[in-house]
Amino acid sequence: KNQVEQSPQSLIILEGKNCTLQCNYTVSPFSNLRWYKQDTGRGPVSLTIMTFSENTKSNGRYTATLDADTKQSSLHITASQLSDSASYICVVSASGGSYIPTFGRGTSLIVHP
């Protein structure tokens, strides 16, 4: 069964600090992995998308890494801002046939001033 596990479930950090969110998956065969940011009461917004051959991808202060061998990904946020407070969702898609992705439960990040 395809699964995506995220950790931690929630995280509180001070403004300006860095943090790293984790995503482990069992989706196979792997097609791509995406990180989304979802503000409260809003739809998810894509941050990064990585395919099998990509190890790292950055989008401003967000850097995602992917280890396809261990089936792990991380999202690193640098110099956090108050606006980074949101839920971060890891989504993994399989190739060949079903294009319905598997969603993680998300990590709720709160950035305090």
The site for another protein (CB under 8 A) is made up of: 31-32, 34, 36, 41-46, 49, 51, 89, 93, 95, 99-101, 103-106, 108
Dig out the tokens for 5 from the structure: 């596990």
Closest separation in Å from C-beta 80 to another protein: 21
Q: Give strand pairing partners of 45.
A: 37
Per the DSSP assignment, residues forming a β-bridge with 38 are 87
Note whether 19 and 78 are within 8 A (CB): no
Using CA atoms, how far apart are residues 11 and 25, in angstroms rounded to an integer? 20
- For residues 59 and 78, which CB has a smaller minimum distance to another protein in the complex? 59
Q: How far is the CB of 64 from another protein (least distance, A)?
A: 15
The smaller minimum CB distance to another protein, of residues 104 and 109, is found at 104
